[in-house]
Structures are given as structure tokens and as C-alpha cells.
Amino acid sequence: MKMIPLEAYLVVSVLLMGLGLLGMIARRNLVTVLMSTELALNAVNILFVGADAHLKLVDGQIFALFVIALAAAEAAVGLGIIIAIFRLRKVDSTDEITDMRG
């Protein structure tokens, strides 16, 4: 079985990280920003698993599982905060949430 080179994992990871960062910077919708954060975290997971496959270790998979758990918690808390802000202010854009006072 032929192994995928580490550079391929690196290229895919950098592209996904760039798309995630671009989405976090360019988009104004809170849900889109949250999805872009998830995309950036998945780019890190790909890099961990690629390095793990290249070095023939298990540490990358363990770190990837921790990042997946962190991403799930971040999504749950983030969506809860977004729903609370939407119910309170009736806005869904990051530009409209400048004044955080009650």
C-alpha cells in the first residue's frame, strides 16, 4: 500500500486553515463565523493525523480526538451564545453587536 506523502496533508491542511481564517475575517454572520472556526479546527486535525501517519505514532490521533471534543464543546457553547444574543438583540451580524451592555 502506497503512503500519502506528508506534503499532501500539509497542503490540504493549509488550504482549509486559510479558508477558515478567511471565513472568520470576511463573514459577518455569527453562524458562518462559528462554522469557519470549525473548519480551521478540522485543518489542525488533518495535520495531526497526517503527521501521525508519517511518523507511525498514535499521538496525532489522540490529539485529534481531543480537538474534536474541544470543537464539539465550542460548537455547543457558541450556538448557545448566538441564540441568546439573537433572542435578546434580534441581530445575527457581528457588526451589530458592538454594545454588550444590557
Cell of residue 1, nine digits: 500500500
Cell of residue 16, nine digits: 482549509
**Domains (ranges, CATH) in the chain?**
6-89 (1.10.287.3510)
**CA–CA distance, 65 with 97 (Å, rounded to integer):** 33
pLDDT tens series, the chain, 102 aa: 678 899 999 999 999 999 999 999 998 888 899 999 999 999 999 999 999 989 888 888 999 999 999 999 999 999 998 888 888 878 777 777 766 555
> What is the structure's pLDDT at 85?
83
> What is the structure's pLDDT at 86?
84
Phi, psi of 45 (to 5 degrees): -60, -40
Classified as helix, coil or strand, 29 is strand
> What is the structure's pLDDT at 102?
57
Helix (H), strand (E) counts: the chain: 3, 0
Q: What is the pTM of this model?
A: 0.82
> What is the structure's pLDDT at 101?
59
DSSP class of 33: H
